[in-house]
A and B are shown apart, each in its own frame.
Chain A
Amino acid sequence: MRYVVGFLRFWYDFVVGDDWRIALSVVAAIGLTAVVVSWGISAWWLMPVAVVVILLSSLRRAVSAGE
């Protein structure tokens, strides 16, 4: 059991990393892009904007927590 937990923790740390909100926000941004595309609206601009917002939010949390 200990090895299974260790194995899962390794993969969680490897893929999700220090801030789980980044992973969750990326999934939400991809979903939102797909929804906007399904409405027939051009959505190529959405992901770059979302990426910058996600990055800045994560940095803001990290910096605020450290000060």
Chain B
Amino acid sequence: MTRDVFLFLSAFLASAVEMVEALTIVLAVGVTRGWRSTLLGVGAALLALAALVGALGPSIANAPIGVLQVVVGGLLLIFGLQWLRKAILRSSGYLPMHDEAAIYARERDEAQAAGPADRGMDWYSFTLAFKGVFLEGLEVAFIVITFGSARSGGVGLAAAAAAAAFVVVGAVGAIVHAPLSRVPENTLKFGVGLLLTTFGTFWSTEGAGASWPGGDAALPVILVFLTIAAFGTVRTLRERRSARGVSAAEGVQA
């Protein structure tokens, strides 16, 4: 039960963050250049993603569980630590915050500068929408497959979480018709980084042959441990940054 709740929450939040980023690109292109070609690009990207998941899913499901836990745990750890690293650097001021409104304005300006849309198929809109949805969706597919494959029935649960995120983000985007800049994306990314790293730690340890005291009950304990470590690091880095007077602009290249 604990594992299911964690799995659903992690897949939902990670998918929502990626979908907010894809929505920004789609809205900027659609509003500026028209919706027909943009939505065709979105549809083509979703079909390509479905084909990819359909091709990879069954072959992964046939692998031995021990091997899966090591591989999936390792991948989630690498992925989660990257997210967490970037989130800590942003929260401590060493990297500028992710600004969805600024990205929207930049995408809109580029779409306008690309010249007038063609009367028939506008390939600029199609390509941009396809690329945005496919690349962000690839991360969602990666998370769904990795989360789901380490336990029986997990792919279905992770896919349901991703679908729920798709409905929520899509509905909100359709209603407000603007980039979701009020979504606390940096905070969400911090949380998702912690969840990915927690699952990665749990599964890679089990895959390596060790057993957690308390079984699944270890998951929230790992999460609390990593959260304390991450917030402690943010605090230390903030103090270091203000002591040395480093601005985000001259911070680090991530």
Contacts and interface: CB of A to CB of B under 8 A. Distances in A.
Contact of B201 (A27, A31, A42, A51): A51
Given A26-B74, A33-B208, 17 more contacts: A17-B79, A18-B82, A18-B254, A19-B82, A19-B85, A22-B81, A26-B81, A30-B73, A37-B210, A51-B200, A51-B226, A56-B233, A58-B81, A58-B85, A59-B88, A66-B251, A67-B246
Majority SS at the chain B contact face? helix
B213 A44 contact: yes
Contacts of B89: 59, 62-63
Contact of A43 (B73, B208, B240): B208
Nearest to B142: A14
17 contacts: A15-B79, A17-B79, A19-B82, A19-B85, A23-B78, A27-B74, A33-B208, A43-B210, A44-B211, A47-B204, A48-B222, A48-B225, A51-B197, A51-B226, A55-B230, A55-B233, A63-B94
B209 A47 contact: no
Majority SS at the chain A contact face? helix
A30 B207 contact: yes
Interface residues of B, number: 46
A46 B252 contact: no
Interface of B: 70, 73-75, 77-79, 81-82, 84-86, 88-89, 94, 138-139, 142, 197, 200-201, 204-205, 207-213, 218, 222, 225-226, 229-230, 233, 237, 240, 244, 246, 250-254
